[in-house]
């Protein structure tokens, strides 16, 4: 086992990793930017090191600074959390070169996961269902028009190196495609540093369902069931739950087998997710591999009792998988709401500032993963996620009721958050019945706006 781990992240995920290190008897080193000098995780870590000014490019994304901090602190491993450098192949390789264990998948896994075109080709060869798409990167609008005609509209233009919904454009016809193609290329270049695009068929009324996988260095791979991630805004997840309210046991088994086949096809190691789209006929298609711990991992922890961060560390240290999905499957339903510092009534405008009043919900069936505290100044430089509120119960209906009660108790003033939106969603009959697709939030917000007029 490792003696000291540097946590190359911030916010709630840094705090989550540091707490797990303490439970495992492993020392932790927290890094922080000047903007995060008062962050909660710094007081819990064994050591802390400032790695630069507020902009992420000069701190949390600066590979040289992070490696230097890890070496100075005499760490033997680095945990990247999610976001920032978590899926950066160059960072994983640099850790390897510097004698540091990267707590995550291999550099080769990261390369394949980041290359959507190659990943899709590998999945086809492995017999995993894939969405109809072009065979390679598309260089010009003219080539795109020919390909779209073959695939059939609507189509999605996607960044080959993208993730988190960035670089995606949905086009209903050729006119829209020709307008969006250059915009998608510019966004792909700006956010991923890679202008390459590919085009795939747009699945109508899709659900976004992902399977959590764990894999050791000895070829053993398991899945820990699925997470329903369909409730999204601009391709960014807002509400996740496990299990999905619509999967039959037969479909769950087939998708789980496909997820394991996908992981085996790329010799995957450590924790990750295989993401699928499910259409209205319950046909499913591989979408991508997420080669890191996911924001929404707590719902899987609640329904399996498995500490996924602890498993990441164990697997990176060379330990074997010790159980199967059947060993850990619990009769529990769990829901997570991402509490963002955003104003839903102002098109989700970011809402940074000082938290003057802070009261968290409690009681049976509630978990709160956050780095907030009263007096904390939410920076404007970083992602707006400030808390993950998780409920769990023996039934989905019970988990919804607990979540509604917990949202009602939660106070973060005067910061505008997504809490009021989630309170309304928990009362919505479409959500409660499980009848929704990825367009749910846009339709829900629009309908509420119309009702208020």
Q: Known catalytic residues?
A: 292
Q: What ranges make up the beta strands (E) of 18-144?
A: 27-33, 47-52, 77-79, 101-102
> What is the distance between the alpha carbons of residues 195 and 49, in angstroms, rounded to a whole number?
35
Residues 6+ apart with CB under 8 A from 166: 159, 187, 188, 191, 192, 235
Question: Contacts for 89-92 with beta carbons within 8 Å, 24 or more apart?
Answer: 89/114, 90/63, 91/63, 91/66
- SS3 state at 17: helix
Distances in whole angstroms, Cα of residue 53 to Cα of each of 8, 67, 341, 375: 15, 16, 22, 21
Return the residue matching tokens 């659900």: 207
Q: Which two tokens stand for residue 388?
A: 């993950």
- Using DSSP's 3-state secondary structure scheme, residue 62 falls into coil
Q: Write 17-22 long-range contacts (CB < 8 A, 24+).
A: 17/79, 17/81, 17/309, 18/44, 18/45, 19/44, 20/307, 20/309, 20/310, 20/313, 21/313
Which secondary structure element, helix H or strand E, spans residue 122, and what is its range?
helix 116-125
The structure tokens listed for 40 are: 């909660």
Q: How far apart are CA 199 and CA 190, in angstroms?
A: 19
Residue 128 Ramachandran class (φ > 0 left, ψ -120 to 50 alpha, else beta): beta
| Spacing of C-alpha 81 from chain mean position | 10
Q: Which long-range contacts (CB under 8 A, 24 or more apart) does 392-395 make?
A: 392/299, 392/302, 392/303, 392/332, 392/333, 392/334, 392/335, 392/365, 392/367, 393/332, 393/333, 393/365, 394/331, 394/332, 394/333, 395/333
Any idea which residue has 């189509």 for tokens? Answer: 155
Q: How many helices (H) and strands (E) does the chain have?
A: 15, 22
Partner residues linked to 38 by β-bridges: none
Q: Report which of 341, 308, 340 is spatially closest to residue 323, judged by C-alpha positions.
A: 308
Sheet holding 284-290, edge to edge: 284-290, 270-278, 207-215, 221-233, 236-242, 333-340, 385-393, 366-370
């Amino acid at each position: 086992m490792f003696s000291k781990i540097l946590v190359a992240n911030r916010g709630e995920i840094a705090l989550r990793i540091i707490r797990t290190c303490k439970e495992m008897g492993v020392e932790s080193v927290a890094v922080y930017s000047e903007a995060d000098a008062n962050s909660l995780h710094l007081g819990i870590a064994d050591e802390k090191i400032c790695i630069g000014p507020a902009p992420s490019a000069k701190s949390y994304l600066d590979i040289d600074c992070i490696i230097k901090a890890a070496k100075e602190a005499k760490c033997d491993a680095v945990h990247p959390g999610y976001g920032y450098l978590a899926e950066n192949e160059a960072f994983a390789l640099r850790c390897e070169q510097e004698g540091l264990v990267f707590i995550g998948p291999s550099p080769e896994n990261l390369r394949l996961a980041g290359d959507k075109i190659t990943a899709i080709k590998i999945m086809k060869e492995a017999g995993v269902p894939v969405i109809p798409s072009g065979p390679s990167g598309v260089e010009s609008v003219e080539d795109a028009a020919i390909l779209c005609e073959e695939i059939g509209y609507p189509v999605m233009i996607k960044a080959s190196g993208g993730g988190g919904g960035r670089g995606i454009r949905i086009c209903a016809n050729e006119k829209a495609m020709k307008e969006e193609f250059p915009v998608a290329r510019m966004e792909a270049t700006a956010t991923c540093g890679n202008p390459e695009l590919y085009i795939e068929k747009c699945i109508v009324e899709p659900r976004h369902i992902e399977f959590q996988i764990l894999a050791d260095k000895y070829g053993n791979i398991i899945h820990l069931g699925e997470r329903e991630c369909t409730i999204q805004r601009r391709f960014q997840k807002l509400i996740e739950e496990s299990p999905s309210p619509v999967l039959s046991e037969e479909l769950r088994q087939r998708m789980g087998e496909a997820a394991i086949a996908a992981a085996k096809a790329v010799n995957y190691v450590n924790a990750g997710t295989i993401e699928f789209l499910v259409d209205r006929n319950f046909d499913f298609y591989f979408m991508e591999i997420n080669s890191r711990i996911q924001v929404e991992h707590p719902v899987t922890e609640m329904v399996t009792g498995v500490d996924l961060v602890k498993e990441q560390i164990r697997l990176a240290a060379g330990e074997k998988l010790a159980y199967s999905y059947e060993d850990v499957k619990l009769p529990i339903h769990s829901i997570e709401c991402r509490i963002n510092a955003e104003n839903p009534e102002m098109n989700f405008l970011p809402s940074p500032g000082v938290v003057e009043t802070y009261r968290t919900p409690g009681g049976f069936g509630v978990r709160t993963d956050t780095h907030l505290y009263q007096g904390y100044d939410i920076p404007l430089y970083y992602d707006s996620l400030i808390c993950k509120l998780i409920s769990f119960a023996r039934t989905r209906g019970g988990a919804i009721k607990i979540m509604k009660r917990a949202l009602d108790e939660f106070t973060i003033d005067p910061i505008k958050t997504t809490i009021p939106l989630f309170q309304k969603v928990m009362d919505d009959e479409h959500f409660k019945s499980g009848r929704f697709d990825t367009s749910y939030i846009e339709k829900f917000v629009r309908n509420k706006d119309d009702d208020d007029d």
